A and B are shown apart, each in its own frame.
Chain A
């Protein structure tokens, strides 16, 4: 993040009211909203034309009101752009979250109602702009709540479970340490133990870790 220059953000949402609200929240958080459009295609044009650090877009947009936002994300990544993309949805759908994460690093998936938590939204935009991953806690909660026979999560301790949930939301070890008021060493020990118990490979790349954890939770 460059403190000298505010992050330049483009917004795409077919609901004008929300679009303006999101812009207001982001500007309130010190970000620079450079474009505000109503469809994924328009966003793609904006991204191609201008110098944008991050895009915030709705999943359900015209013309079919299904998953245009995710389709737009996939086109952005297919074009080779690594711009941060934060997708907003009215529903916390794990299957969408996995698909979003699967598109690569610098992506996030949040519930729309997080616009009433400006810090969460601003931080999420900053995270994806810097190549990090963000997953809504509601999605993680749903995944963890899913009941499976022979659940590998049962092998985790209470503390390890909390750490895992934060890992899934895209927190770094440092972020987890801060959130849970733990020392970084302690968090690292927990993470190692979790990856071992869940038979996951330790990946040097932060995004891969999020995806691995989400996939595990989804397939469990």
Chain B
């Protein structure tokens, strides 16, 4: 993209420089070739020379910021067609050239008229506009042909060589066409200015903001042209003042054009602001307000699609008026719907804004984005909340299942095995009383084996859910847990009262997992466990003086801990630089105050 853009800038700069050079060359050579007595004032010549320069400069700007390349091209051609009358003194000797130049020396006016017509879109959008443009071009061609074929040397302000193309002397026809062409041109310019003026007067505030310089400039120019045409037709010398006003009016046309485009661009920048507001998730009232500000149209109304009632209503819920577009034609309606075709809103805006389709596109996009954003956000929030709740339910169910299994073991298998041991003991005693030594010793062995099995079952049940946690909470269960760790552990539990069961069991099992990691991987000689409750938060810290280098990714151990912590909305921080021990800090929010 960049090289193409650079090449385009270079090409455009060269074109502008070339036309400026041609224009200045014509101006200077004409001035020098004209005898002193006939020379116009230097000030006027300077002003005359500045006009094409203004066009060339505006062409550069229009190229850079305009939505269409047409106006810039028209502006860049203008300096070549801006032929000073003094230039005939230079080319008068060339019988093959001066008639052609004489035929096109008013084309700059045609070009300027078309420039005004394409404002502000950059192309001829209206049927009437296209008709006007066609008439102007046709008249120019007719004029060129007539001038080339019938102009005699006295048609130009010079001691000209004979016209090599001249077929016959027809001064009446020539004068008719020559003056007629000017009259038609002035008439067309008047029509264009009138159209612009009417549009401007009937338009509301935004319309005037979009185009107010242009009709004024055009009107000023047309009026001066009319004056010049009248004086030309009457072969009178035109007034210097009118001439000067005319020049200024012409020069102000491209300036108005560029200013108008810049204004539209500025509007688009405000659409970008609207996008930003949209992204930040503004409410409907604020959005409509920002839209009115963006469009500089206080009459903007936004009607939102009410899905329940199947109609449009304003932010307050009032349904839309019968015909919000009103038949007077001051307002247009812009329906906005989602990519899936679902209606979102109806924007009532000033009709004039319809010409700025890009602006309205931006507005619809912003609105679509806003609604889609809001919809997605609420959907994600809802899903997230569901996932969070179901995860908590799963974890709670897990805790409950563990507790139930432990209790079943305690009340079932363990009790039965204890009773069984008792029965075996009675049997062994009986066997001993009967003097059956082998049976006695066999029963004694069985009791020993049974007690070993009971011991293992006890450990298993304890691992599934420590009964001490249910009855004594973290204050008792954590020291007991630490006591089982083969690495010496210093314990500091400050948790007055009991915490919610889910929090207690989560804390217990993550600490158990952390201590298992310390024992298995850290190679530490000491460890520290801290469980503190403050600020509605349970903070757990497990620290060791081992090899470090633990990570959340490395093993499933840390991941399991992190999952358990996540399930209770907690956070986990792992600090484990190689060779400098490991510190795991976990925070679990306590939504309800700990029960006393």
Interface residues of A (CB under 8 A from B): 15, 17-18, 21, 24-25, 28, 60, 65-67, 90-96, 112-113, 115-118, 142-143, 146-149, 151
User: What is the bound-complex CA distance between A118 and B487, given in angstroms?
Assistant: 37
Which residues of A sit under 8 angstroms from B525, Cβ to Cβ? Answer: 149
Q: A21-B419, A91-B458 are in contact. Are A60 and B467 (CB under 8 A)?
A: yes
- CB < 8 Å neighbour of B472 from A25, A65, A95, A142: A95
Q: Which of B205-239 contact A (CB under 8 A)?
A: none
Q: A66-B471, A90-B410, A95-B476 are in contact. Are A149 and B425 (CB under 8 A)?
A: no
**Does any Cβ of A come within 8 Å of B130's Cβ?**
no
Contact with A along B409-430 (1 / 0, CB 8 A): 0110011111101111110010
Main secondary structure of the interface of B (DSSP, over half): helix
- CB < 8 Å neighbour of A91 from B407, B450, B462: B462
Q: A15-B411, A90-B414 are in contact. Are A116 and B450 (CB under 8 A)?
A: yes
Which residues of A sit under 8 angstroms from B486, Cβ to Cβ? Answer: 147
Which residues of A sit under 8 angstroms from B423, Cβ to Cβ? Answer: 21
Cβ–Cβ contact A21 & B467, under 8 A? no
Cβ–Cβ contact A113 & B451, under 8 A? yes
User: What is the bound-complex CA distance between A157 and B407, given in angstroms?
Assistant: 41
- CB < 8 Å neighbour of B422 from A116, A147, A148: A116
- CB < 8 Å neighbour of A17 from B415, B425, B429: B415
Which residues of B sit under 8 angstroms from A24, Cβ to Cβ? Answer: 422, 426
Cβ–Cβ contact A95 & B415, under 8 A? no
Q: A65-B407, A116-B447, A147-B485 are in contact. Are A91 and B422 (CB under 8 A)?
A: no
Which residues of A sit under 8 angstroms from B485, Cβ to Cβ? Answer: 147
Contact with A along B289-316 (1 / 0, CB 8 A): 0000000000000000000000000000
In the complex formed, the residue of B with least CB distance to A112 is: B418
Cβ–Cβ contact A116 & B526, under 8 A? no
Q: Which of B378-418 contact A (CB under 8 A)?
A: 407, 410-411, 414-418
Which residues of A sit under 8 angstroms from B492, Cβ to Cβ? Answer: none
Cβ–Cβ contact A115 & B418, under 8 A? yes
**Does any Cβ of A come within 8 Å of B488's Cβ?**
yes
In the complex formed, the residue of B with least CB distance to A67 is: B471
Q: How far is the CB of B460 from chain A (nearest CB, A)?
A: 12
Which residues of A sit under 8 angstroms from B321, Cβ to Cβ? Answer: none
- Interface size for B (C-beta < 8 A) is 41
In the complex formed, the residue of B with least CB distance to A95 is: B476
Interface residues of B (CB under 8 A from A): 407, 410-411, 414-419, 421-426, 429, 447, 450-451, 454, 458, 461-462, 467-468, 470-472, 476, 479-480, 483-490, 525-526
Q: A18-B419, A115-B418, A142-B483 are in contact. Are A96 and B458 (CB under 8 A)?
A: no
Which residues of A sit under 8 angstroms from B425, Cβ to Cβ? Answer: 25, 115-118
Cβ–Cβ contact A94 & B422, under 8 A? no
10 closest Cβ pairs, A-B complex: A116-B421, A66-B471, A149-B488, A146-B483, A67-B471, A21-B422, A116-B425, A95-B476, A147-B488, A115-B422
Which residues of B sit under 8 angstroms from A96, Cβ to Cβ? Answer: 468
Interface centre among B422, B426, B487 (most CB of A within 10 A): B422
Cβ–Cβ contact B483 & A94, under 8 A? yes
In the complex formed, the residue of B with least CB distance to A217 is: B483
In the complex formed, the residue of A with least CB distance to B409 is: A90
User: What is the bound-complex CA distance between A133 and B451, given in angstroms?
Assistant: 24
Q: How far is the CB of B461 from chain A (nearest CB, A)?
A: 8
Cβ–Cβ contact A25 & B422, under 8 A? yes
Which residues of B sit under 8 angstroms from A112, Cβ to Cβ? Answer: 414, 418
A–B complex contacts, Cβ < 8 Å, 23 sampled: A15-B411, A15-B415, A18-B418, A21-B418, A21-B422, A66-B467, A66-B470, A90-B410, A91-B468, A92-B458, A95-B472, A115-B421, A115-B422, A116-B418, A116-B421, A116-B424, A116-B425, A116-B447, A118-B425, A142-B483, A143-B483, A147-B486, A149-B526
